[in-house]
Copies of this chain bind each other. A is one copy, B any other.
Amino acid sequence: MERFSNISMAVVRRLPKYFRYLGDLLSNEIRRVSSQELSKITGFTASQIRQDLNCFGGFGQQGYGYNVEELYNEIGKILGLDRTYKTVIVGAGNVGQAIANYTSFQKSGFKLHGIFDVNPKVIGLSINDVTVMDVDDLEKFIKQNDIEIGIICTPKAHSQKIADLMVDAGIKGMWNFAPVDLKVPDNVIVENVHLSESLFTISYLLKEREETTKKKK
């Protein structure tokens, strides 16, 4: 994936975390916060936090800290959460259904416009008020409805074909749950959630820990 910005992906990946913590502060009616306090909550260093927020112009004031609501709204805007996105899910299996039912995404502005599957038994069913359609209609649907984000929850063997089809239809971003590294043009964004890789990290670390414990004995 080609990047046009000077902001590193490491900073970009920390932003949703700031956004989440600031949201928590807001719910607790806390109105201002220092970088030191943010550091305690987030686990990042205060200087890291100041540096991150400076990338975007910096919102803090010497001696006052950050206005929580202002910073929350600003980071929301930076994350592109001040507008809505049209999405479709392909693959109405376990993961596809879970995502479709995950209402917080819809509340954040990621509106689900369609769910697609190959299985005739599933086509026509309704998940969270969205009807499952035939994957043969996917390309037309994306074009006609200006869908921007495609969520790929298909089995591994079909995911690249679906990604190709989405690219042809003009999709701009993909959220990929299939355990495959999709090949797409540079101008298409792919964000992977590779669950097995995450799970295998646990087994690795458990094993490492056990071996170290044995050695120590």
Contacts and interface: CB of A to CB of B under 8 A. Distances in A.
29 contacts: A4-B208, A12-B201, A12-B204, A13-B197, A17-B194, A20-B196, A20-B197, A78-B207, A79-B200, A79-B203, A79-B207, A80-B200, A80-B204, A80-B206, A80-B207, A95-B102, A98-B98, A104-B196, A105-B196, A108-B196, A109-B203, A148-B206, A149-B202, A172-B209, A175-B199, A189-B202, A191-B199, A191-B202, A193-B198
B4 A199 contact: no
Interface of A: 1, 3-5, 7, 12-13, 15-17, 19-20, 42-43, 78-81, 85, 94-95, 97-98, 101-102, 104-105, 108-110, 148-149, 172-173, 175, 179, 181, 187, 189, 191, 193-209, 212
Contacts of A189: 202, 205-206, 209
B199 A105 contact: yes
Given A13-B197, A20-B179, A102-B195, 8 more contacts: A4-B209, A7-B208, A15-B204, A81-B200, A108-B200, A109-B203, A175-B202, A189-B209
Given A94-B97, A148-B206, A189-B209, A16 B110 contact: no
A187 B208 CA distance: 12
A195 B197 contact: no
A104 B198 CA distance: 13
A12 B172 CA distance: 31
Contacts of A200: 15-16, 19, 79-81, 108
